[in-house]
Chains A and B, each alone.
Chain A
Amino acid sequence: MKPYATWKYVVLVLAIVFGALYAAPNLYGDDPSVQISQENGEPLPEGFGERVQAVLNAEQLVPLASGIEDRHWVVRFADTGAQLKAADALKRELGRGYVVALHLASKTPAWLRAIGARPMNLGLDLRGGVHFLLEVDVDDVRTRAIERIVNEVPALLRKEGIRYTGRRVLAEAAQLDFPDQERLEAAHRAIAEAFREYDLITPPDAPLSLQVRLSEAEAKRIVDFAVQQNLQTLRNRVNQLGVAEPVVQRQGANRIVVQLPGVQDTTRVKDLLGATATLEYRAVAEEDPYAAASTGIVPPGTELFYTRGDRRPVLLKREVIAGGDNLVDAAATVDENGGPAVSVTLDGAGAKRMFAFTEKNVGKPMAVLFKEREVVTNYNAKGEPIREHRQVEEVISIATIRGVFGKRFQTTGLTSKEAHDLALLLKAGALAAPVEIVEERTVGPSLGADNIQQGFSAAVLGLALVVIFMAVYYRVFGLFAIAALLLNLILLVAILSVMQATLTMPGIVGIVLHMGIAVDANVLIYERIREELRAGTKPHAAIEAGYDRAFLTIADANITGLIATIVLFALGEGPIKGFAITLAIGIITSQFTAIVGSRALAQLIFAKRPLKDVPVW
């Protein structure tokens, strides 16, 4: 037999070392722990450890470890009881500005972590949690942009002194009519100059009209902006929930994925994610609201609303003193009577307006308007979705201004739960456009545990069956194939861990299936060796011929296999991607281990030994 190149042995040994080191973290398991970080993402302050320690001492809790890991402060405990107690105490004592989350911290030793070895993440289907796919209501964004055109463009024309005879709102545009060609052209010039982002069209059937619509690029930009803004808002809201390792990601043009490991109470999460509630502070108009309500004629500059609960009519000035955009912070609190309240903080501009307004209007009433937009999807007889937009606008409190105030004040008139939720929402910022949940997948912890256990036992049984079969059928060479298969599995796990891939149930299925298919390369080689032996080739030459001739066949088969898995990866969703990636990596690692690995063993053991026959049957 020709000697086997030394570098191939070196590569093999390196692969074994790499595989062993980077697959190892998956064996260590987790500690129940509490993870703390600053809400604003800044590094933790000096002496933070002592504060944490003081809280733990007060509760007589002894952590296994407490320190900074990956930019978070992580306090590890021996059992979940201590973990829960500590989380409650830390939430209470550290107060606002910190995110305290329950977490499972890997027990991987520090020296392994230092070389970047970390365990795979477990998917939601294995550890429990919720997955939401939210769709941003793009129509709403467009409609509001058209509304803006309808307000802005006529204002510009009035300013420029260009007379128009009518304006109409169309589905995708605002239409303005002009008395003559001259004015139409003047308007065209003025609008084109002031608003580059609008497209101007004169419809052929109405030569004296101008349709103002959003340009394609502008429409795309505003939708994109709304989705980005929603992404940020949802991130803020999720951070408020105190979940470790949440995922909030954009998916495609107008969807957002939210994954919250370990969360079970989906009702509250759903309420919070989709909520658009915000507050507006407005002056109460002096005209009679009952007259306006009965006649339906609302005095100019005012709007008619009703109070929450007893549905009394209230006339409010159109002008908003401070709105959702001006709110920079909010917290649930109690007022002097012990009732629930929200304490809000305004930004500079809002505070200035509030100060100016209250200064001039002491003794007069001011109203707090609660606004919420909802999207409800119903399905018609054909099963097509029909979206309905509902706007809730209620006056939650009217209070007499007793003194001048500006930046911080309290708002009452809410239930306790509303005060808490509203504070959270105000703090996290408003959604730029309504979102709707189009997919939900919640896995309870017991199902997650069952999945892991079932996946693991199927893998063990599958491996055992393959190992027994190979050893019995191919004898010594079967053992080589088993060694190659084991190395293949270790490399597969190591690569998945280095990539920080998420292990899901389909991923486990992929690994199990792969074990059955991966030995195919060895089967091809061994059958070839047997054939050579039958044809009378000498043992050593038969081994070489077997490996050499099977190589291209295996490569061809693997490449077409890769094509199928790449397609699966490119077009699949979450869990299917996990399945595809395990298969794809498995194909690549098996090409290496089945050929190089098992051949190196054959060389090591048989190259210098006289053979009468090859122990492959």
Chain B
Amino acid sequence: MKFFARVPNINFMAQRKLGLAVSAVLTVAAILLVAIRGLNLGIDFTGGVLVEVEYPQSVELDTVRRHLAEAGYERAVVQYFGSTTAVLIRLPPAENASSAQVSTNILRALHAEESGISLRRIEFVGPQVGEELAEKGGLALLFAFIGIMVYIAFRFEWKFSVGAIAALVHDAVMVLGYLALLQVEFDITTLAAILALIGYSNNETIVIFDRVRENLIHQRRTDILDVINLSVNQTLLRSVITHLTTLLVLFALLLLGGPSVHSFSVALIFGVIVATYSSIYISTNLAVALGVSREDLLPPEDKELGATL
């Protein structure tokens, strides 16, 4: 398919200041969204009890609520899960009066009236476990950032590494903002999605950086903006196609993967789209703003040569 017989020639860097400003505004907006609206944290993080049951025929939610109220769980949140025969019951952590016994009591309360109910799943997470998980998740993000930053500083240059990390933080924050906006449930798999996104988005940045370095060394251009524009254009098709294949599998997961991977797919689909933008307008852009130059990227032995060119 020779749709693209020529390398595109889009002047990405012309709007670089605008791009940086837009991202800054969007990032602040996302942070505000998370701060004000809050994430819809799942019981993995908050602690609490979740019970999913399947009734042999359609059931009225009010009936379920009444049974639960009779057993003393007036504040249980009851909702359908996919169909009118599947019911999801949640209890907040403050409500789980004692321990894991609550899930047992809930089942008893339902079984008392209705036989033939089948248990789909029970999740009980003690608040201490949830807190630890949130802590560990934050730590995981931090370590991932540090590891990637060190590697890029070692392979490329610290200005690039700052740019790359800024892009990753941007992506993570944007996804969190999006999840807060739509109130998609944030559970442990969503956290995994964000960490996977960090690896993915970083790929994107590395590919462009790699090309920038190559062009700086081989092409005799001195204007860094020219080189970056060329590099972004050269890698543009590859980016589009990789995003496309990744989005293909993510849509497959969203369509057929069932409710348990819903938030994972939603988070990643949005993340992949954001990552495209951030690798152009944040990572390289910030490296330029920090004053990255041709000399920074030449191998040490070529530096003198480079300086005299």
Closest Cβ of chain A to B88, distance in Å, is: 12
| A567 CA / B151 CA spacing, docked (Å) | 14
A324 beta carbon closer than 8 Å to chain B: no
How far, in angstroms, from A556 to B209 measured CA to CA in the complex?
A: 10
Assess whether A455 is interfacial by the CB under 8 Å rule. yes
Interface residues of A, dominant DSSP: helix
Q: Do residues A442 and B122 form an inter-chain contact, with CB atoms below 8 A? A: yes
- B249 engages A465 (CB within 8 Å): yes
Q: Of the candidates B93, B100, B121, B252, which one forms a contact with A462 in the assembled complex, judged by CB atoms under 8 Å apart? A: B252
Interface bin, chain B: 35 or more
CB within 8 A of B245: which of A444, A520, A556? A520
- Asked if A394 is an interface residue, CB under 8 A from chain B, the answer is no
Question: Could you tell me the distance in whole angstroms from the C-beta of B142 to the nearest C-beta in chain A?
Answer: 9
Known: A440-B103, A564-B198. A469 touches B248 (CB 8 A): yes
A560/B104 in contact, CB under 8 A: no
Q: How far is the CA of A475 from the CA of B2 in the complex (A)?
A: 11
- A369-381 interface mask toward B, CB cutoff 8 Å, 1 = contact, 0 = none? 0000000111100
A466 vs B241: C-alpha distance in the bound complex, in angstroms? 11
Question: Considering the complex, which residues of chain A in the window 423-453 have a beta carbon less than 8 Å from any beta carbon of chain B?
Answer: 436-444, 446-447, 450-451
Could you tell me if B192 and A572 are in contact, using CB atoms closer than 8 angstroms? Answer: yes
A window 405-431: CB within 8 A of B: none
B10 adjacent to chain A (CB < 8 Å): no
- Given A457-B256, A520-B242, residue A573 in contact with residue B121 (CB < 8 A): no
Which residues of the other chain, B, contact A571 by a CB distance below 8 angstroms?
A: 136-137, 139-140, 143
Is the C-beta of A512 less than 8 angstroms from some C-beta in chain B? yes
Q: Which residues of the other chain, A, contact B253 by a CB distance below 8 angstroms?
A: 458, 462, 509, 512-513
CA distance A210 to B250 in the complex (A): 67
Q: Say whether B84 faces chain A, with CB atoms less than 8 Å apart.
A: no
Cα–Cα, bound, A552→B299 (Å):
15
Separation in Å of the B238 CB from the closest CB of chain A? 4
A572 and B123: CB pair below 8 A? no
Cβ–Cβ contact B1 & A383, under 8 A: no
Let me know if A523 is at the binding interface, CB within 8 A. yes
Q: Nearest B residue to A447 by beta-carbon distance?
A: B120
Does A270 contact B104, Cβ atoms closer than 8 Å? yes
Pick the most buried of B98, B211, B214, B238: most chain A CB atoms within 10 A of its CB.
B238
Give Cα A465 to B97, complex, Å. Answer: 49
Please tell me if the beta carbons of B129 and A133 are within 8 angstroms of each other in the complex: yes
Are B104 and A266 in contact, CB atoms less than 8 angstroms apart? yes
Question: Top 10 nearest A-B pairs by Cβ distance?
Answer: A564-B199, A516-B249, A462-B252, A438-B126, A454-B258, A462-B249, A437-B100, A516-B246, A440-B124, A442-B122
Q: Is the interface of B mostly helix, strand, loop or mixed?
A: helix
Check if B143 sits within 8 Å of A617, measured CB to CB: no
Q: Is the CB of A567 within 8 A of B97?
A: no
CB contacts under 8 Å to B, within A508-555, are: 509, 512-513, 515-517, 519-520, 523-524, 527, 530-531, 534, 549, 552-553
Among residues 72 to 109 in chain B, which have CB atoms less than 8 Å away from a CB atom of chain A? 93-94, 96-101, 103-104, 107
The answer to whether A264 and B98 have CB atoms under 8 Å apart is no
Contact A458 B257 (CB under 8 A): yes
> In the complex, A517→B6 CA distance in Å?
25
Task: Using CB atoms, name the residue of chain A closest to B3.
Answer: A617
Residues A466 and B249 in contact in the complex (CB < 8 Å), given A270-B100, A446-B120, A523-B238: yes
**Chain B residues, CB < 8 A from A617:** 1-2
Of B15-23, B26-34, B260-268, B285-293, which stretch is located at the interface?
B260-268
Some 22 contacts from A to B, beta carbons below 8 A apart, are A135-B126, A385-B127, A385-B128, A440-B103, A441-B121, A442-B123, A443-B120, A444-B119, A446-B54, A446-B118, A450-B258, A458-B253, A459-B252, A466-B249, A506-B189, A513-B246, A520-B203, A523-B242, A553-B207, A564-B198, A572-B188, A579-B189
